[in-house]
A and B are shown apart, each in its own frame.
Chain A
Amino acid sequence: MSVHISSNKLNVTIWITLMCLTVITAWVATVDLGPFNTVVALAIATFKALLVVLFFMHVKYASEKLTKVIIISSVFWLLLLLILSLADYSTRGNVRIM
């Protein structure tokens, strides 16, 4: 675990950023961007998640590469589940999606 001690300034800055992004994502949802509504919502959520993981969970300051490997691998494995399942659902032809 890191011996890095986050300053209060850093913590509060991240907090304010997260709050702002929450407001933004709720507002953007009311604007018609067509299919991009989903993309933007997920992008904002991912950015927020990254802020929490990198700063609040100290992953940015971790001397240990293994932590990052674990996070990236789990996310990758989740994407495997989603994408390979979609390989079936999106090519069935009888149900119209995508």
Chain B
Amino acid sequence: MATAVLTGERENYLNKEYGIRSWLLTTDHKRIALLYLISVTFFFFVGGFLAMLIRLELLTPAGDLMLADTYNKVFTMHGMVMVFFFLIPVVPAVLGNFLVPMMVGAKDLAFPRINLLSWYLYVIGGALMSHCMLTGGVDTGWTFYTPFSTAFTNTKIVEAGLAVFVAGFSSIFTGLNFIVTIHRMRAPGLTWARLPLFIWAQYATSLIMILGTPVVAVTILLVAAERVFHLGIFNPALGGDPLLFQHLFWFYSHPAVYIMILPSMGVVSEIIACFSRKRIFGYEFVAMSSIGIAVLGFLVWAHHMFVAGISLYSALVFSALTYLVGVPSAVKVFNWTATLYKGSISYSTPMIYALGFLGLFTMGGLTGLFLACLGIDVHVTDTYFVVAHFHYIMVGGVLMGYLGGIHFWWPKITGRMYPEGWGRISAALVFAGFNLTFFPQFILGYVGMPRRYWQYPPEFQVLNVLSTAGASVLAVGYVLPMIYLLWSLRYGKIAGENPWGAAGLEWKTASPPPTFNFDETPEVTWEAYNYEEIPAPAEVTFER
């Protein structure tokens, strides 16, 4: 339906068809990416609202905003929503869905209908989780350890478990789709060694989704069976082992954090290359380190269980393996830094996010090494040190990478430029707010404040107040892009095919792209990041 001709607009994936049915029944990977964008953003703000409640309660040492049981539910739902409905899907389902086919020169993913099914599974899981929250929620922590979750608590474990189970299949199908697409649908001439690092990152992420997610799925099944039928598989009173639950849970949930970070690392590679106008230094090393992270990430799970009762011998083994998994991440950080050296740097919004990522991810990663040390872990496990560590990676890493990616590919997705001034201000606010929120938490944890506690000794208040103050700044930094990105849809400067002068097949087609991505299947005869051949944009003008 070429209704686009009425406005004189070129036909693209947005205006090809109108109406709610054309969106809800679409099989176009780009439209599905936007469906995900909307639903993922919704859950981000739900999780963010819950975070706000946490920080408000922790402004004062006393538990005066809510009951202890309520607080348990608030941090649990914050964790569950953020982990399963934001962090795990966000970059693969939004940016990955949009870009993977384009970056490999294909017309769509290998299985477009399964892609749509993935989104529906996500929505159904999200609906179940929302219903669960509205009717009482869960209070076990997002890790729902047994036997509390199976034999003691009265909260809605089975419903929350079902929500996660369904969302898990969304994840599995996305990973499956990406692997097949990358193997089978690359354009002529696009060998593995010419793929953008974003694709390598998505591929590695998909491997983890395929191999890890089913284990947590069956674990949830066992927990549900235990609750419903009063079994004793994880209940020590009935001969079961609570640590078996933890082994099965973390076998997935540790690699899951690599599902979260790897795609953002891919985004960072693309952004740093573009805004240094240089090929990523050590391309092969960065590509292989993605695979390395995916593989090694499966060998370290029991570092979450050092004080839970595993044998000292196995703790030593897992500690050594955990140090090892830091190596490929470090390789990436060194290579990104080397890329910046003597590059032609421009500080666009995406670049500010990417540079912020470099610093914050490094801090988060290094503090992970602190935790890998058994002696230190004994003191800081289950304190705010751990909370700070993973928020540095989840928020300072994953979220910054995602926001950088959204800004970088916004012109491609929408055909419009966002206002650069506001972009930079928001990025700066996010960076400043983030550090103010989470750096004090390292100190809090080190001096002994436990996590998941709703009251604390008065001497911890100053640091908590700083943290909450930072959270307010962070919140502003997140709301601003919502406003100006939406504004840009109508009033933003029209973007051309390649406003950044970036390398990559996605930039060789119109913005927004036509439904089948390319007018003709491209034939690739150049290496990735061929910036020496691509002219820098003469002037990328930004609206103030």
Interface on A for B, CB 8 Å cutoff? 66, 73-74, 77, 80-81, 84-85, 87-89, 91-93
Contacts and interface: CB of A to CB of B under 8 A. Distances in A.
Contacts, number: 35
A81 B311 contact: no
Contacts of B301: 84
Shortest 10 CB-CB distances between A and B: which pairs?
Answer: A88-B314, A91-B311, A91-B313, A88-B310, A87-B314, A92-B311, A85-B247, A77-B211, A88-B311, A81-B251
Contacts of A91: 311-314
A77 B298 contact: yes
Contacts of B244: 85
Nearest to B305: A88
Interface of B: 183, 211, 215, 243-244, 247, 251, 298-299, 301-302, 310-314, 317-318
A79 to B, nearest CB: 12
Nearest to A86: B314
A84 B311 contact: no
B302 to A, nearest CB: 7
A22 to B, nearest CB: 27
10 contacts: A66-B183, A77-B211, A77-B298, A84-B317, A85-B244, A88-B247, A89-B311, A92-B310, A92-B311, A93-B311
B303 to A, nearest CB: 12
- Which applies to chain B's interface (DSSP): helix, strand, loop or mixed? helix
A84 B215 contact: no
Given A77-B211, A81-B251, A88-B302, 5 more contacts: A77-B298, A81-B215, A84-B302, A87-B314, A91-B314
B211 A74 contact: yes
A92 B233 CA distance: 19
Nearest to B215: A81
Given A88-B310, A88-B311, A80 B243 contact: no
A91 B299 CA distance: 18
Given A77-B298, A81-B251, A93-B311, A88 B211 contact: no
Contacts of B310: 88, 92
A87 B183 contact: no
Contact of B299 (A66, A80, A89, A93): A80
Contacts of B298: 77, 80
B251 to A, nearest CB: 6
A35 B201 CA distance: 45
Given A77-B298, A80-B299, A92-B311, A87 B211 contact: no
Given A74-B211, A80-B298, A80-B299, A87 B247 contact: no
A41 B244 CA distance: 25
B8 to A, nearest CB: 47
A91 B313 CA distance: 7
A1 to B, nearest CB: 12
Contacts of B211: 73-74, 77
Contact of A88 (B183, B215, B243, B299): B243
A91 to B, nearest CB: 4
B216 to A, nearest CB: 12
Contact of A87 (B215, B243, B317): B317
A97 B329 CA distance: 38
A88 B251 CA distance: 13
B269 to A, nearest CB: 25
Contacts of A80: 298-299
B431 to A, nearest CB: 38
A18 B313 CA distance: 42
A50 B418 CA distance: 57
A88 B311 CA distance: 5
A89 B154 CA distance: 31
Q: Which of B313, B314, B317 has the most chain A CB within a 10 Å cutoff? A: B314
Contacts of A74: 211
Contacts of B302: 84, 88
Nearest to A76: B211
A73 B291 CA distance: 14
A62 to B, nearest CB: 14
Contacts of B243: 88
A48 B244 CA distance: 30
B347 to A, nearest CB: 42
A87 B313 contact: yes
A97 to B, nearest CB: 12
A77 B214 CA distance: 12
A77 to B, nearest CB: 5
Contacts of A88: 243, 247, 302, 310-311, 314
A89 B247 CA distance: 11
A66 B317 CA distance: 32
Contacts of A93: 311
A89 B298 CA distance: 18
